[in-house]
Amino acid sequence: MTETALTAAPAATDALAVRACVLREPGRPPEVESVWLDAPGPGEVLVRVAAAGVCHSDVHLADGALGEGRWPAVLGHEGAGVVTALGEGVTGVDEGDHVVFCLVASCGVCEACRSGRRTLCAPAGAEGVAGNLRTGARRLRAGDGSPLQHGFTIACFAEHTVVSAASIIPIPRDIPLWQAALLGCGVITGFGAVTHAAGVRVGERVAVIGCGGVGLQVIAAARLAGAATIVAVDRRAEKLEHALRRGATHAVDASGHDAVGEIHRLTGGGADHAFEVVGAAPTIRLAWDALRPGGTAVVVGLAPRGVEVSLPAIEFLSEKSIVGSYYGTGDPVAALPGLIELVHAGRLELADMVSHLIDLEGVPDAMDRLRRGEGDRSVIVIDRSLAGATAAEGDRP
Ligand SMILES: [Zn+2]
Ligand SMILES: [Zn+2]
């Protein structure tokens, strides 16, 4: 990978030069560049990034599937690090605190936030799509001084990042940061879909369609919620094997002849809850078809813009429903302490979700693995000692 030379002096004297993975345009692999990062402004923090997970949403952004105009940008939203400087007026966090990034920098005062639905915060969503911090500011510039967007308001595929103080959640220091990185997107998303969006109860029957990084978290959450039957559905045999190790009770090959019939047979008439964790029309329809009367399909997968789904409307007679779930539904900041308790108690495994430890230059390959549906999470180890990564970089056993 080539690194762009820093050809212009930074405008602000306290700007940091950092290595970052930059998306220039869709269809072109992101490359590592030296970029300028300005000091945090009011309500913002500077974070030294230890590790970051490569999530399918990064691939969608990089492929242009989330809309035009979202580049050039520093990628990355699932990650963990250490706070190294506070902007004016920041309270509740100190330099040296370990933190995970929170995808929704909720404002706390809009109607959605005040009703406890922080993932639907309108100001946070608008600035996120615009590639800004929640304050509307940008602190990133390319080496030549031209502006860069903060991908998903986090931009953590970088040695340091400046984020809104609402984009970080402090965590205890005893969780290695290369594992904690997963908490901020995949774990919150999967567990929230089960506990908040679906409300899975003891003894219920669940189907999980798509057993990648988030799908495996859905399975782990369904097991902890006491689901009696958890049917894992995927096209890849190795993903189904991993799903069975994570607590799925049955596995169905989605490329088989009659996946719907098989799910109905295994659940004794259909699932109470079917989770779609792919983001595609055929699998959303599969989740619907997998339900028993009165069941609910929860769409967790992020579908590219323009995807439409068709459902047989007669089946609303059987009181089936379909709902969306974004980033765990509800309040991610409130959800995290409980998830950390599960990690401490040994009931939520993070390390076994990681199939590859990579460096910043490995992002394009990690994205290709996601496009092909291979492997679990790839985690970028940006600072080895800070991340607490003991395994060698490269493929994990
Ligand atoms: Zn994500
Ligand atoms: Zn809000």
Each residue of 104-140: pLDDT tens digit? 999 999 999 999 999 999 999 999 999 999 989 999 9
Average model confidence (pLDDT) across the chain: 93
Q: Please name which ligand lies nearest the alpha carbon of 109.
A: 2
Q: Is the peptide bond before 397 cis (omega within 30 degrees of 0)?
A: no
Please say if the pLDDT value at position 393 is more than 50.
Answer: no
What pLDDT, on the 0 to 100 scale, is given for residue 282?
97
For residues 51-73, average pLDDT: 94
Expressed in angstroms and rounded, the spacing between residue 79 Cα and the centre of ligand 1 is: 10
Is 354 in contact with 377 (CB distance < 8 Å)? Answer: yes
What pLDDT, on the 0 to 100 scale, is given for residue 66?
92
Is 287 in contact with 279 (CB distance < 8 Å)? Answer: no
The pLDDT confidence band at residue 373, using thresholds 50, 70 and 90, is: confident
Expressed in angstroms and rounded, the spacing between residue 12 Cα and the centre of ligand 1 is: 32
Expressed in angstroms and rounded, the spacing between residue 337 Cα and the centre of ligand 1 is: 19
Q: Can you list the alpha helix ranges (DSSP code H) found in 78-176?
A: 111-114, 122-130
What pLDDT, on the 0 to 100 scale, is given for residue 390?
64
What pLDDT, on the 0 to 100 scale, is given for residue 257?
84
Expressed in angstroms and rounded, the spacing between residue 116 Cα and the centre of ligand 1 is: 21
What pLDDT, on the 0 to 100 scale, is given for residue 211?
95
Please say if the pLDDT value at position 392 is more than 90.
Answer: no
The pLDDT confidence band at residue 248, using thresholds 50, 70 and 90, is: very high
- pTM exceeds cut of 0.85: yes
Is 236 in contact with 278 (CB distance < 8 Å)? Answer: no
Expressed in angstroms and rounded, the spacing between residue 185 Cα and the centre of ligand 1 is: 5
Question: For the chain, what percent of residues have pLDDT higher than 90?
Answer: 90
Q: DSSP state, 177?
A: H
Among candidate residues 62, 91, 56, 84, the one with its CA nearest the CA of residue 75: 62
> Which two three-digit tokens encode residue 51?
């590790």
Q: Please name which ligand lies nearest the alpha carbon of 117.
A: 2
For residues 318-341, average pLDDT: 95
Expressed in angstroms and rounded, the spacing between residue 157 Cα and the centre of ligand 1 is: 13
Q: Please name which ligand lies nearest the alpha carbon of 58.
A: 1
For residues 73-82, average pLDDT: 98
What pLDDT, on the 0 to 100 scale, is given for residue 11?
52
Q: Please name which ligand lies nearest the alpha carbon of 120.
A: 2
User: CB-based contacts of 330: which residues, under 8 Å, 6+ apart?
Assistant: 116, 117, 118, 119, 192, 196
Residue 324 CB neighbours (<10 A): 15
Range of lowest pLDDT (84-93, 198-207, 235-244, 388-397):
388-397
